[in-house]
Amino acid sequence: MSISLKFGFIGVGLMGGRVVDTIAQLLGPDGKQLYSTLAININRQDLDSLQHVGNKLQLNSPFKAAGRNPEVGYEALSQNEDTVKKAIADLAFQSDFLWFVAGLGGGTGTGSILQLVQWAEDLQSIGVDFGIIVSLPRVLDGYQENKNALLVLEQLDRAVASRLFPVIIVDNELLCTRYLEKRKYENISVDWTQHSNAEIAGLLHQMNIITTQVPYGHKHFDGEEFRLVLKAGGCMQFAKTMIDIKDFRDELTIKNLLQRSIQNGTASGGYDEEDAVMAGISVFAPFTMANEVYDVSNVRILENAVKDICPRTEVRWGHYVDYNTSAPRVEIYSVISGLGLPRRVLDIQELLKGLKPKEAARKLDLNFGVEIEEKKEKPSVTSAIVNPFARKKVEQHRQGEQPEGKVVPLSPEPKLNWQNAQVKEIPAWLKRYPDEPVI
C-alpha cells in the first residue's frame, strides 16, 4: 500500500486523541505506521487509553481534566506553549500536511483548536500546509456542549468564507443515526464512536491511496492535484457514489445519484455545492467493462452531471480500473473544497434557542453568513479568528494601569498569512539546526 501525501495528525482532547489513535493503526506493507501522530490532552487517563498513537503529550495544568470547560483547555495549552510548539514542529518536519483534530463541545479540544490554528500559520514558512478536522456534538449532548461548539464555529465561519485553510466537519448526529440504521442489517461489534472514528480516519486515507493508482487513459487525479484541492480551503465534502452499469447512460439518473451522495456526504451533509471551488473525482470501472464506461459519450454524460451539481467548480478527474471485481457497477469517489459551513451549524443555533429562556436565547444570535468579496485581500488567520475562550486576568496592561482582576482578551502578535506568496523568515520555534535531531 502506497500513499501520495505524508499527512501528520495531531489530536487534541478525548475525541481528537481517539481519532488519531485509529489513524495510527493504518500500516504500510512493512508493518510501520503510515502517518505520524500526536495526542495532546490534560487528562492522563484519556492519554493512557490510547494504544497506537505515536506520541503523547500531557498538558501541565492545575486541573486533572478540562471538565467540558474550554477556558481550562485554552489556559492549559497557552501555559504549555513552548512544549506544544516543539511537538508540533517535530511532527511538521516529518509531514507534507498537518491536520489538527478536535471534538467541539468539550474542554481541551474546544478550547485549544483556534489557538492551534493561529500557531499553525507559521508552518507555511517551512513548506508545510495545515487543516483541521472538527466534530459537531449530537442534539442529545445537551446545551453546554452545543453552546461551546457554536462559539468556535462562529469564529471558523470567517476563516471558511475566506478559504484560509481546509476544514473537515464531522457531524456526530449524522454518524450516530447512520450507525443505528446500519446495525439493523449488519452485525457490528463496536460501539458507534469507534465505528465513527474509523469512518473519519478513512476520509483522507482513502483519497491518499486512490491518488497513487495507475490511471486508465490520460485522466489521473494524482497526489499534487489532491494537495491543490486541499489548499483551496473552506469546508470539504467527501462522498462515494455507486452506479449500476445499466444506469450509466442515463444522465438524469447519474446526476440524481451523484447529487444525493454529495449532499449526504460521508462525514457531514447540508452544504451548498454551488459554493465549491475545486473538486477531485475518481471513477473506478470494473475491468470487464472499462472500455464501455470510459467511452467518450459516457464520460461526457458524467462530466455534464458534475457540472450541473457544482457549476463554478474546477474539477480534476481520475479514471481507473478495479481489477478486483467484475460486478456491473461504477464507483465514484469525490472530494470537494471551498464550501461554506453546513446547515447543521444553524440547526445548533436554533436548538440552543429552544433550550434556553428567551432572555438567554437572544444572546445566541451569533454572526454567521460572512461574505468575503473576491476583490478584497483575504484576511490572515490571526485577523479572522478571535478565540472566545482567551481571557487573561492582569494587574497592568500595555497601555497603563488596569483595575485589579479585570478580564481582558489576549492580543496575539500578527503572524504570517499562510496563503501569502512571499515566504517570510522562519519563526524561531520552527527553526532546525544540523545537530538537532527530529524526534
What CATH number is attached to the domain comprising 204? 3.40.50.1440
Residue 2 lies in a domain: no
pLDDT on residue 63: 81
Q: Is 188 in the same domain as 248?
A: no
pLDDT on residue 187: 85
Residue 30 lies in a domain: yes
pLDDT over threshold 50, residue 324: yes
Q: Is 28 in the same domain as 157?
A: yes
Residue 154 lies in a domain: yes
User: Residue 357 to residues 47, 147, 149, 227, 347: CA-CA distances in angstroms?
Assistant: 38, 14, 20, 46, 17
Q: Is 88 in the same domain as 50?
A: yes
Q: Can you tell me the distance from the alpha carbon of 47 to that of 51, in angstroms, rounded to the nearest whole number?
A: 9
Signed CA dihedral, 399, 405, 409, 415: sign only: positive
pLDDT on residue 397: 30
pLDDT on residue 421: 38
Q: Is 185 in the same domain as 247?
A: no
Query: pTM here?
Result: 0.86
pLDDT on residue 365: 59
The SS3 assignment for 141 reads helix
Provide mean pLDDT across the span 219-234.
Answer: 96
pLDDT on residue 398: 32
Per-residue pLDDT band for 430 (boundaries 50, 70, 90) equals confident
| CATH code: domain of residue 259 | 3.30.1330.190
Q: Can you tell me the distance from the alpha carbon of 118 to that of 387, in angstroms, rounded to the nearest whole number?
A: 10
Residue 429 lies in a domain: no
Beta strand segments in 71-209, E: 97-103, 129-136, 166-171
Note down the domain range covering 90. Answer: 7-208+386-419
Residue 64 lies in a domain: yes
Last residue of a domain, one of 339, 373, 397: 339
Residue 360 lies in a domain: no
Residue 362 lies in a domain: no
Q: Is 118 in the same domain as 222?
A: no
Q: Is 172 in the same domain as 95?
A: yes
- Residues near 364 by Cβ (< 8 Å), separated by ≥ 6? 147, 150, 349, 352, 353, 356
Last residue of a domain, one of 339, 357, 378: 339
pLDDT on residue 371: 53
What's the pLDDT tens digit per position in 399-420? 343 333 333 333 333 333 334 4
Per-residue pLDDT band for 361 (boundaries 50, 70, 90) equals low
Q: Is 185 in the same domain as 310?
A: no
pLDDT on residue 360: 57
pLDDT on residue 228: 96
Q: Which of 37-41, 364-368, 391-395 has the highest mean pLDDT?
A: 37-41
% of the chain beyond a pLDDT of 70? 84
Per the model's pLDDT, the better-predicted residue between 438 and 46 turns out to be 46
Q: Can you tell me the distance from the alpha carbon of 390 to that of 131, in angstroms, rounded to the nearest whole number?
A: 21
Q: Which of 273-287, 320-334, 366-380 has the lowest mean pLDDT?
A: 366-380
pLDDT on residue 273: 92
What's the pLDDT tens digit per position in 153-212? 999 998 999 999 999 999 999 999 999 999 888 888 888 899 889 989 999 999 999 999
Q: Can you tell me the distance from the alpha carbon of 314 to that of 303, in angstroms, rounded to the nearest whole number?
A: 11
pLDDT over threshold 80, residue 396: no
Q: Is 125 in the same domain as 62?
A: yes
**Could you tell me if 248 and 305 are in contact, meaning their C-beta atoms sit under 8 angstroms apart?**
no
Q: Is 201 in the same domain as 235?
A: no
Report the candidate in 95, 108, 104, 93 with the shortest Cα–Cα distance to residue 39. Answer: 108
pLDDT on residue 389: 81
Last residue of a domain, one of 339, 373, 403: 339
Q: Across the chain, what does the average pLDDT equal?
A: 85
Q: Is 236 in the same domain as 307?
A: yes
Report the candidate in 114, 134, 131 with the shortest Cα–Cα distance to residue 123. Answer: 131
Q: Is 330 in the same domain as 394?
A: no
Tally the domains of the chain: 2
User: Residue 80 to residues 36, 87, 124, 436: CA-CA distances in angstroms?
Assistant: 21, 11, 22, 21
Q: Is 188 in the same domain as 241?
A: no
Residue 254 lies in a domain: yes
